[in-house]
Amino acid sequence: MIKSTMKNLLLLSFYLIVLPALSQQPPGTDIYLFDWNKKKGTIVLGNPVNITARPGYDNQPYFHPDKPLLYYASADVTGRTDILEYNYETGITRKLTETPEREYSPTVTPDKKFISCIIQRDNGAQDLGKYPIEGGEPVVLINNLTVGYHAWMDNKRVLTFILPQPFTLQLVDVETGKATILAENIGRSLHKIPKQEAMSFAQQQPDKTWIIKKLNSNNLSVTDLAVLTTEKEPLLTWAPDGTLLRSMEMEIYFMKPGKNNTWNKVEIQKALSGISRMAVNPQGNKIAIVVSE
């Protein structure tokens, strides 16, 4: 009887605390699209366009590898998110998903046939699924872990940020379901390193500072790319030429690991605030930047 009562109290706590949090409107953010130019060793971002000029949450941009398309998560007035597609040649936006679930972190799968994303459910579960890129019903890939973020290593292996704390880096084989824990206390930025069989992630150290690390895709060995002195979690992305970018509230810094380990400031031809996520297109001439409204 005591066990049953405790179970009911725990369930009640879940519904009182977790479900209202899920229904809350995410913070308002916008996505700006800039032209990317390199001039004498400096990166210059110009011609800014707010592609999500509306109140509300628009976030987590991801470029298609071949087409002039940018995918992102966008919340409606109830706080539920869907995946949208923006064509930056035509300026046309369309909905890729329209579901009762919440979709986050759209990512083009290596075969370019699907958009994989986090599917957040009303019971608090966060699965990894994929939608046909031309539209259709989703396929669930991972439903036994709470997935926060992900990046594809190859056609069947996906690198994942798994909740709860201490956040773990887990490599999941989506064909067998096997998950391997590779690291703990990691950050949210998971990326494939351009032109290498390698991935990058950030790991917090005992003194609360961070190290940006490289994971070899073949033997899963890990080496350091950059040591940071700040306790603030680094939010990162890569340009196709191997330039690593790091956002810092109102500024962006860049470096090229292995060639120049000094962080240099990106010139942005517009004042921005609350810079968080970024993505550079595979052609290396556009960058999407998420800012606070």
The larger pLDDT score, comparing residue 51 to residue 7, is at: 51
- Amino acid identity of 241? D
- Distance, CA of 267 to CA of 217 (rounded, Å): 33
Task: Tell whether the model's pLDDT for residue 18 goes beyond 50.
Answer: no
Closest to 132 in 3D by CA, of 115, 152, 155? 115
Closest to 72 in 3D by CA, of 86, 61, 81, 82: 61
Q: What is the pLDDT of residue 24?
A: 66
Q: What is the mean pLDDT of residues 2-26?
A: 42
Average pLDDT, rounded, for the chain: 92
Q: Position 67: which residue type?
A: K
Residue 233 has pLDDT above 50, yes or no: yes
Name the residue among 242, 151, 251 with its Cα closest to residue 202: 151
- pLDDT for 3: 37
Nearest Cα neighbor of 244 from 188, 192, 186 is: 192
**pLDDT tens string 155-171:** 999 999 999 999 999 99
Task: Give the domains, in start order, of the chain with CATH numbers.
Answer: 30-292 (2.120.10.30)
**What is the pLDDT at residue 20?**
38
The helix/strand/coil state of 168 is strand
